[in-house]
Amino acid sequence: MSSKTVNQKAWWLVLPVVVLVGFNAIVPLMVVVNYSVQETFGNNRFFFEGVKWFEEVVHSPRFYARAAAPAAVHRDRAADRGAARRWRSPSRCRAGAPGPPRAWC
């Protein structure tokens, strides 16, 4: 056995760091929760909406249709990316050609 005295006072030096990290984690979380129950129409004016949006999502058949078929969603997105590449082809981007706006080329 060791005759060395166990001293745990160094943990008091860690406490301020734990408090600061906890504060920096809790405050943004509170802000996100606050924004999730409010609606804004711009100009920094907020209106309390409560859980109305969450209820709409939970009762939406569209939400459950998408949640039940995540592979189909991925397949649709991949097809959309392919369509975007085809729109950027050089033959479609020449002046006067019908198709996407010039900014897409």
**pLDDT tens figures, 6-50:** 888 989 999 999 999 999 999 999 999 988 888 887 788 888 888
- For the chain, what percent of residues have pLDDT higher than 90? 21
Whole-number average pLDDT of the chain = 76
Query: Quick one: pLDDT at residue 6?
Result: 85
Q: Report the 10 Å Cβ neighbour count for 73.
A: 12
Q: Report the 10 Å Cβ neighbour count for 37.
A: 14
Phi then psi for residue 48, to 5 deg, are: -70, 125
Query: Quick one: pLDDT at residue 29?
Result: 94
What is the rounded average pLDDT of the residues 67-71? 68
State how far the Cα of 56 lies from the Cα of 103, in Å rounded to an integer. 37
